[in-house]
Structure 1
Amino acid sequence: MTPARATTGIVEGVVAVVGQVGRDLVLRVDEVPAAGGSTAVRERREVLGGKGANQAVAAAQLGMSAALVGVVGDDPAGEQVLAQARQDGVDVRRVVRREGATTALLVDVVAGGQRRLLEDASEQVQLTAADVHAATGLLRRAAAVLVQLQQPAEAVSAALRIAREAGRFTVVDGACRDASVRQEVLAAATVLRADAHEAELFCGRALRGADAVLDAARELVGRGPRLVVLEAGAAGNAVAWEGGGELVPLTGVEVVDPTGGGDSFTAALAVALLRGEEVERAARWATAAAGSTVQRLGGRPALSPEELDEQANLLP
């Protein structure tokens, strides 16, 4: 099979990420206690978090200029996470400091390679259409625009319209609850990535088995995106493009914490495609990025192109 090429021809420029940013408190325990019980915390980490921030950091680590469009509070925590993002090489000039708001706090409780998420993120630290429009200049000139679809519908729509009108390479991650916005996503996205539940929302039906997921990915390509990647459980990821498709296996590493694996996948996929990699190679590079991230506690990536090249070469 000769894979289609999914390239913009751009190898330099800014990756603009529209999404959540906040504090991430990660707690590793031996087991989650039952009601009334207690347990000791074996490891604790406090890091910059949120899907948007994770993707921006990953893109920066992989050699791209990265800029974040999001919201934090005007509290000390907001200043701390922005300082961390700056240290990570992320441009945060379009991150809004919302007066009177408390910066989002994400608490990940991890036991046995599985996590439970507690999320304290008020409406005040959700993106609005006005916040997105304030970043119009960035989005119009970006090499790629990555949009996290868990943000409010009006903010997602604003980002997609700006990117589409400017002809930007647009990577969307997740699924909106609003069906009308999902249609807008399919019309605007260059690349769509979704997990198993999100894929079912886009398709409007249950997906049972890897073959059904791959068929769904091919179906969604026919509805707009040039490339669709859908999570297919233990089988890996179903990757489809016009005229082709395949199941890309996982790396097989031991999962310490699944947090952030999808974010690293999305960022690495975007970077690989921007650099002109063929679809098959880009998908394996992204799979290697996810595998690297889930081997450590917390969703914070620690990626390098050399590591991803090495790990991608090991995948069938």
Structure 2
Amino acid sequence: MSASPDILCIGSVLWDIVGRAPSHMRQGSDVPGRITRLPGGVAMNIAMTLARFGLRPALLSVVGRDPEGDELVARAEAMGLSVAHLYRSDDLPTDRYMAVEGANGLIAAIADAHSLEQAGAKILAPLVNGPLGSAAAPYEGLVALDGNLTLALLEDIAAAPAFARADLRVAPASPGKAERLLPFLQHGRAVLYVNCEEAGLLCKREFATSRAAVEGLLARGARRVLVTDGGRASAEGTQDGIIERTPPEVMVTRVTGAGDTFMAAHIAAEARGAGREEALEAALKAAADYVSGEIGT
């Protein structure tokens, strides 16, 4: 991809190994189903969705120089994603994510993103002192950042001059990593994308609705936030007000990657010039299409 990217997607780029069963599951269940291996990771999922909406995303992450990494890079290129700025490691293996889903949603998941954590600031070299920007000439475009990075690196990014002019969109990788977003709660430029559980972890309290979660995050100093709540109403808010929309009702066939699809679709809608209400509705529709299986992987 020779053209300049429309957005930088920073974070996890890995293989998703997902087992899905059509029946309800519980701890210890042993049921028939399907197991798939697909390109995944929060940054990768966001980039793939952005490409489907016609944007040119570039990936900043680490991928090993192993057969799995070579295959993953080839798949990314085939989807129109820029891989020119990936850090390819000779020593670190390509990361993986494993999940089990039943008809009652996500049962369990394990994210093996140790290579991303060990690579650390190396993945940011093109943006900090390279072809994409520097402290003296910061990158001024869209950046989608995920919470699979270490807390120390996220803290550095929140204060780094190289990110001072970026339109920074931030999401946790999972509820277990939600508190890594704390450096961006009172950040002057960051937009946070979280679900109700993640909002509660950031605010140290439980929220019954997405609106309440938005109110809580804004009270903590957030500039702008979007909060989803499964099939219930989602909310988007700034200090100027809060809007709510209910997602379309669909049959849920998968859940892994739904939040990433929501975030990417919202970013893409705003990049096209959509207003707050239109962008939120577009994001909810895209996420609903994804979980229903209408959008391919």
TM tier, shorter chain?
0.7 to 0.9
Q: Contact 1:196–1:232 at 8 Å: present in 2 too? A: yes
1:39 aligns with 2:31: yes
> Letter of the aligned partner of 1:252 in structure 2?
E
Identical-pair percentage: 21
Inter-CA distance 235–187: structure 2 relative to 1 (3 Å threshold): same
Which residue of the partner structure matches residue 68 of structure 1? 59
Cα distance in structure 2, aligned partners of 1:117 and 1:84: 26
| Structure 2 equivalent of residue 228 of structure 1 | 225
Secondary structure of the equivalent of 1:258? Answer: coil
Question: Which stretch of structure 1 is more off in the superposition, 123-132 or 68-77?
Answer: 123-132
Distance 1:20 1:150 in 2: 6
On the 8 A contact 1:230/1:239 being kept in 2, the answer is yes
* CA contact 2:65–2:93 (8 Å) conserved in 1: yes
Bigger shift: residues 137-146 or 193-202: 137-146
1:91 counterpart = 2:91: no
Which range moves more in the overlay, 91-100 or 182-191?
182-191
How far has the Cα of 1:218 moved from its partner? 4.1
Task: Indicate the residue corresponding to 1:21 in structure 2.
Answer: 13
Q: 1:135 deviation in Å?
A: 3.3
Corresponding letter in the other structure for 2:93: T
Q: CA RMSD in A?
A: 2.8
- Aligned-pair CA distance for 1:217: 4.7
Structure 1 contact 15–142 (Cα < 8 Å) conserved: no
Q: Deviations over 1:1-44 (max 9, x none)?
A: xxxxxxxxxxx952101111111122222444764x64323x23
Q: Deviations over 1:158-207 (max 9, x none)?
A: 44444774411111112786968613453144321111221012222221
Is residue 132 of structure 1 aligned with residue 124 of structure 2?
Answer: yes
Query: Could you tell me whether the CA contact under 8 Å between 1:189 and 1:224 is conserved in 2?
Result: no
Equivalent pair of 1:132/1:158 in contact (CA under 8 Å): no
Return the letter of the residue paired with 2:89.
R
Q: What SS does structure 2 have at the residue aligned with 1:186? A: coil
C-alpha displacement of 1:251: 1.2
Q: 1:276 aligns with which of 273, 278, 285?
A: 273
Q: Give the superposition deviation at 1:271.
A: 1.6
Unaligned runs of 5+ residues in structure 2 are none
- Mapped to 1, the partners of 2:113 and 2:180 lie a distance apart of 24
Q: Which residue of 1 aligns with 2:152?
A: 154
The within-5 A match list for 1:164-183 is 165-174=163-172, 182-183=182-183
Give the drift of 1:62. 0.7
Give the residue type in structure 1 aligned to 2:216. Answer: A
Provide the rounded CA distance (Å) in 1 between the counterparts of 2:9 and 2:247: 25
Query: Secondary structure in 1 aligned to 2:74?
Result: helix
Equivalence for 1:202: 202
**Structure 1, gaps ≥5 residues long:** 1-11, 304-316
Contact 2:195 2:228 in 1 (8 A): yes
Q: 1:217 to 1:248 in 2, by over 3 A?
A: farther
Distance 1:218 1:68, change over 3 A: same
- 1:135 is paired with a residue of what secondary structure? helix
Following the alignment from structure 1 to structure 2, what is the Cα–Cα distance between the partners of residues 122 and 258?
A: 20
Specify the code of the residue in structure 2 equivalent to 1:138.
Answer: L
User: Is residue 256 of structure 1 aligned with residue 258 of structure 2?
Assistant: no
- The TM-score with structure 1 as length reference comes to 0.79
1:57 to 38, 43, 48: 48
1:212-223 matches, cutoff 5 A:
212-220=212-220, 223=221
**Equivalent in the alignment of 2:237:** 240
| Number of residue pairs aligned between Structure 1 and Structure 2 | 284
**Alignment correspondent of 2:91:** 100
What's the TM-score once normalised by structure 2's chain length?
0.84
